[in-house]
């Protein structure tokens, strides 16, 4: 019995992993656009709820403090780091506005916003991404499969699973790819993309 459960656990991960490789062009376009924003002086602003809040912090530290020696540090901040600020905004403006309120104060048009939501429908992540678009930021959403509406963004990167654990695993791979390939585009700019 344990063998079938173990086998099923591994098999549930095969299709989402394969689907990720099928989305290579989508990921590459996001990386190219992010690299252009960094080259224009923009910074990365990342946010998410629950476990995705921790992912947002992970993404920010990857860009600010690269673990690979010789890679350029890039400006990034997570909107989930300051508990006093998040809870203060939530107390006066409600939970749905915790990221949008911070973006209105901290974001500039050359910046990049990444919203992370395992199910793709967190109200505060969606509102943050909507606000980022209104402010002219490049917007990227990391989501899982959902039958509900997903946010309108420049780049939608979907982990092809409804299982939140697998979605989180695929998200880690996606944001490590974003970090790695953004550096490729910064180190070896694409002349066609700069036009």
Record the pTM.
Answer: 0.91
Residue 156, SS3 per DSSP:
strand
Residue-level pLDDT at 141 = 95
- Distance of alpha carbon 103 from alpha carbon 142, whole angstroms: 18
Residue-level pLDDT at 1 = 60
| Banded model confidence at residue 74, pLDDT cuts 50, 70, 90 | very high
- Distance of alpha carbon 125 from alpha carbon 38, whole angstroms: 22
Q: Tell me which DSSP letter residue 97 carries.
A: G
Residue 193 has pLDDT above 70, yes or no: no
| Mean pLDDT in residue range 113-135 | 93
Return the percentage of the chain with pLDDT > 70, whole number. Answer: 94
For residue 139, how many other CB atoms are within 10 A of its CB? Answer: 25
Residue-level pLDDT at 140 = 97
| Banded model confidence at residue 8, pLDDT cuts 50, 70, 90 | confident
Residue 194 has pLDDT above 50, yes or no: no
Residue 61, SS3 per DSSP:
helix
Q: Domain containing 169 — which CATH number?
A: 3.40.50.10490
Question: Structural domain tally of the chain?
Answer: 1
Structure tokens at 74: 């890039």
Residue 50, SS3 per DSSP:
coil
Q: Tell me which DSSP letter residue 43 carries.
A: -
Residue-level pLDDT at 195 = 43
- Chain length of the chain: 195
The answer to whether residues 111 and 44 touch, using CB atoms and an 8 Å cutoff, is yes
| Mean pLDDT in residue range 51-75 | 91
Residue-level pLDDT at 182 = 96
Residue 6, domain extent: 2-194
151 or 176, which is more confident: 176
């Amino acid at each position: 019995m344990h063998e079938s459960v173990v086998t099923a656990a591994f098999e549930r991960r095969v299709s989402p992993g394969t689907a990720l490789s099928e989305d290579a062009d989508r990921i590459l376009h996001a990386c190219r656009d992010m690299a252009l924003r960094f080259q224009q002086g923009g910074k990365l602003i990342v946010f998410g709820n629950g476990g995705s809040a921790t992912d947002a912090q992970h993404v920010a530290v990857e860009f600010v403090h690269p673990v690979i020696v010789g890679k350029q540090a890039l400006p990034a901040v997570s909107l989930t780091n300051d508990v006093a600020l998040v809870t203060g905004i939530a107390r006066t403006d409600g939970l749905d506005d915790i990221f949008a309120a911070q973006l209105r104060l901290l974001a500039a048009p050359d910046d990049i916003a990444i919203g992370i939501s395992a199910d793709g429908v967190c109200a505060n992540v969606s509102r943050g991404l909507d606000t980022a678009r209104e402010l002219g930021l490049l917007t990227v959403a990391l989501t899982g499969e959902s039958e509900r509406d997903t946010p309108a963004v420049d780049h939608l990167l979907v982990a092809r699973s409804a299982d939140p654990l697998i979605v989180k695993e695929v998200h880690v791979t996606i944001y490590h790819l974003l970090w790695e390939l953004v550096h490729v585009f910064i180190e070896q700019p694409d002349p066609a993309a700069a036009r």
